[in-house]
Amino acid sequence: MNRLLIIRFSAMGDVAISVPVITSLALSNPELQVTVLTQQRMAPLFSWMPDNVEVLGVDLHHYHGIGGLGKLYGRLQEYHFDAVADIHDVLRTKYLRMRFRLQGTKVAVIDKTRAERKALLGHGMEHEALMPVTEKYAAVFRELGLKYTVSYTPPRIPESEQIFPFAVTSPAIGVAPFAAHSGKIYPLDMMKEVVDSLADSGMQVFLFGAGDQEKGILESWEREKVMSVVGKLGGLRQELILMSRLDMMISMDSSNMHMAAMMGTRTLSVWGATHPKAGFVAWNQLEESIVQVDMPCRPCSIYGSKPCVEGDYPCLRQISPQRIVDLVKKYEAQ
């Protein structure tokens, strides 16, 4: 095999967590030319890949519907891929891999183990942990007959690229309080307590988010030693470089957790409606860095998108701000 196509369009966290796996694959097969097909806005996640990896970032608005996907398939044909690894398995990728199969290209697809995920709901306390998503990605590559040995190390960023419009002094703590669904968001008033306590103890706190609404909230939290970086950096690549400078990232079960981990920064992740046993833990992070409370209803959903039966997510409100602050201080002292 000479050329491999890997497809993963979204979500941001799932794309970020693929970076260590794809890097390990490329290093395990140096003769293999790997092309990663993803969304253009996520291409910066692959900024520090081995030389035998190229990223094809596309704007999916230009490839809308069956006609658009046919156009995208025609573009991909020019690469003459020997195999396709679909590590997403959604309608778009189903169409693309069907076209490749029809022309005789070997295809492997991720097993999302939907039945096992469904069985986990409401049974997180006693259920065995499911296979990590990283292992599911690796299983797709092994199915194609490729060698795979875990060999990822976070990128070393040259000092010439570590240029920010503000000073970064240690201890520097990142806080990313938002997520795609409310079931994964620690109450903002309680997170602000965490931020203020860390700043009062002398730590420098950088706030991460996206969009005008999050920008407004985070800017209202700014004070001495607390700064929102929303809109103050030159895009995703620079955010990743800043994450690599942090001593720790406090995040939800969200993309920021995965991005910080892939940059080699320790994460302290807060979990509510979702559960780490579903397989979405950050790369190479310690179990003791996972903050959660055991409740018989957890997880109530795999992605945190279902309304809380109790109304206000006690799974999150029962985590005290002081517990998070104490953990940060404990790990900083080590």
pLDDT tens string, the chain, 334 residues long: the values are 999 999 999 999 999 999 999 999 999 999 999 999 999 999 999 999 999 999 999 999 999 999 999 999 999 999 999 999 999 999 999 999 999 999 999 999 999 999 999 999 999 888 999 999 999 999 999 999 999 999 999 999 999 999 999 999 999 999 999 999 999 999 999 999 999 999 999 999 999 999 999 999 999 999 999 999 999 998 999 999 999 999 999 999 999 999 999 999 999 999 999 999 999 999 999 889 999 999 999 999 999 999 998 889 999 999 999 999 999 999 987 7
Residue 103 to residue 97: CA distance in whole angstroms? 10
Residue 122 to residue 106: CA distance in whole angstroms? 38
Residue 281 to residue 169: CA distance in whole angstroms? 28
Is-cis flag, bond preceding 171, omega within 30? yes
- The whole-angstrom distance between residue 256's C-alpha and the CA centroid of its chain comes to 6
Backbone angles phi, psi at 106, to 5 degrees: -70, 135
Residue 71 to residue 242: CA distance in whole angstroms? 37
Predicted pLDDT of residue 138? 98
Task: Name which of 130, 135, 104, 94 is nearest 115 in CA terms.
Answer: 130
* Helix/strand number for the chain, H first, E second: 11, 11
Place of tokens 């320790």: 266
Predicted pLDDT of residue 332? 85
Give the amino acid at 295.
Answer: M
Backbone angles phi, psi at 12, to 5 degrees: -55, -45
Query: How far is residue 314 from each of residues 110, 183, 186, 252, 318, measured CA to CA in Å?
Result: 34, 10, 10, 15, 6
Residue 205 to residue 177: CA distance in whole angstroms? 12
Place of tokens 């183990």: 113
- The whole-angstrom distance between residue 163's C-alpha and the CA centroid of its chain comes to 24
Residue 117 to residue 302: CA distance in whole angstroms? 7
- Range 51-57, long-range pairs (CB < 8 A, 24+ positions): 52/26, 53/22, 53/23, 53/26
Place of tokens 């833990």: 281
Cβ atoms of 253 and 271 within 8 Å: the answer is yes
- What stretch(es) of the chain map to CATH 3.40.50.2000? 3-143, 165-333
Kindly compute the dihedral angle of the four CA atoms of residues 98, 102, 108, 114, in this order, to the nearest 10 degrees: 30
Task: Name which of 316, 328, 315 is nearest 196 in CA terms.
Answer: 328
pTM score, whole prediction: 0.96
3-143: CATH class: alpha beta
Could you tell me which residues come within 8 angstroms of residue 57 by beta carbon, excluding any fewer than 6 positions away? 38, 39, 40, 41, 42, 43
Q: Is 228 helix (H, G, I), strand (E, B) or coil?
A: strand
Could you tell me which residues come within 8 angstroms of residue 303 by beta carbon, excluding any fewer than 6 positions away? 180, 181, 274
Give the amino acid at 36.
Answer: V
DSSP assigned state of 297:
T
Superfamily in which the 165-333 domain is placed by CATH:
Glycogen Phosphorylase B; (3.40.50.2000)
